Amino acid sequence: MKVNGKPYRTIWLGPDGKGVEIIDQTKFPHRFEIVRLKTVDDAAHAIKDMLVRGAPLIGATAAYGMALAMRADASDAGLERAYDRLYATRPTAVNLRWALDEMMRVLRPLGTQARAVAAYKRAAEICDEDVEINKAIGRHGLGIIRDIAERKAGERVNVLTHCNAGWLATVDWGTATAPIYMAHEAGIDIHVWVDETRPRNQGASLTAWELNQHGVPHTIIPDNTGGHLMQHGMVDLAIVGTDRTTANGDVANKIGTYLKALAAHDNNVPFYVALPSPTIDFGLHDGVREIPIEQRSGDEVAKMTGRTADGVIATVTIIPDGSPVANYAFDVTPARLVTGLITERGVIAANREAIRKAFPERG
Ligand code: MRU
């Protein structure tokens, strides 16, 4: 997607063809800074400290992390060490494991001399595949938005989204945002309600920034506003992303997604999940009990960072000294609350049979 008119992906090879460049997402929305990853430790740090985030981009960064590792030590021990180092970074998004397993599948049978070249090649393919998956999700989701626009006789379509499942969370296009960008490009009058997404504000700082860059009409709302908007007919559909979806269609996504799904259910608002297939965990069958939920530092809740009136980026504490804090980063929306899964192979029901039918080779 374009930043100030220049096309970017979220991850690419630097000029030497070895270092990996990313956009530091901790600096948004006030600064656009590119960071070069030179080692597997750089890649692990970028994932853990959320310079990159979003399930597909975590996977893509891990894939390149393996390539960086192979440059330094392509032995079997080096391979295992890199896998373990990257796997330990974040627990919820299953794309991380998917990408690491994929790299292992390709690299393990090779001799040490061949591993680095093969690793860069497979990492680049994983990135390209992500872009194609998201474009397909966009085309399928566009059909849903088009149907609603036709039913409303061209009147504005209002979409609610949570967190950032935009191009910054993927290699390009985004998952939840791909249908939105395509609808906008197709001339459909579309407007996005952007949940701010406390505590890290991925909606307010990332999704809003993206939509702004692309001229898509949007409004940032505090996280608790969605239910009110739905009660008043101001949301036509919700589209969110996912970090891990079980074989039966339970969906883990950023904390607060479940409450939006409950409100949507109560108000007959369609609730869609944009789901690239690497995000499906075919080994799990009960999302609430089985999906590991990341707990992050209480500082993310206790403090906020922003720009002061004189342009300085400052961090302030917003809670009383000594108050304990809980910071669960994700929650699980049961399949029964999901209207449909927008996958690269079409829009399917959130149940075991439909998922297995759409992805028979994996199920
Ligand atoms: O903690 P984050 O910012 O990595 O959480 C991201 C999300 O919850 C996204 O909605 C999800 O990864 C899907 S991204 C296409």
Residue 246: phi and psi, rounded to 5, are: -80, 170
Residue 140: phi and psi, rounded to 5, are: -70, -40
Q: Is 278 in the pocket of ligand 1 (CB under 6 A)?
A: no
Q: CB-hemisphere CA count at 13 Å for 252?
A: 29
CATH class for the region spanning 2-129: mainly alpha
Q: Is 243 in the pocket of ligand 1 (CB under 6 A)?
A: yes
Residues of the chain with pLDDT under 70: none
Pocket test for ligand 1, best of 97, 242, 255 (most atoms within 8 A of CB): 242
The 10s digit of each residue's pLDDT in 180-239 is 999 999 999 999 999 999 999 999 999 999 999 999 999 999 999 999 999 999 999 999
For the chain, what is the radius of gyration of the CA atoms?
Answer: 20
| Ligand 1 atom index nearest CA of 175 | 15
Q: Is 91 in the pocket of ligand 1 (CB under 6 A)?
A: no
Going from N- to C-terminal start, the domains of the chain cover: 2-129, 134-358
Name the superfamily (CATH) of residues 134-358: Translation initiation factor eif-2b; domain 2 (3.40.50.10470)
Cα dihedral across residues 233, 236, 242, 244: positive or negative: positive
What per-residue confidence (pLDDT) applies to 172?
98
Of residues 130, 195, 223, 243, which has the active-site annotation?
A: 243
Active site annotation includes 243: yes
Residue 212: C-alpha distances to residues 4, 194, 219, 220 (Å): 10, 12, 10, 11
Residue 46 neighbours by CB under 8 Å, 6+ apart? 22, 35, 37, 52, 61
Q: Is 43 in the pocket of ligand 1 (CB under 6 A)?
A: no
Pocket test for ligand 1, best of 53, 133, 240, 272 (most atoms within 8 A of CB): 53
SS3 276: coil
Is pTM, for the whole model, over 0.75?
yes
The overall average pLDDT reported for the chain is 98
What per-residue confidence (pLDDT) applies to 2?
87
Residues 209, 318, 302: CA angle, nearest 5 degrees? 80
Q: Residue 309: exposed, middle, or buried by beta-carbon count in 10 A (0-12, 13-18, 19+)?
A: exposed
Q: Is 184 in the pocket of ligand 1 (CB under 6 A)?
A: no
What per-residue confidence (pLDDT) applies to 168?
98
What per-residue confidence (pLDDT) applies to 234?
98
Residues 330, 243, 92: CA angle, nearest 5 degrees? 60
Task: For residue 109, say if its preceding peptide bond is cis, omega within 30 degrees of 0.
Answer: no
Residue 352: phi and psi, rounded to 5, are: -55, -45
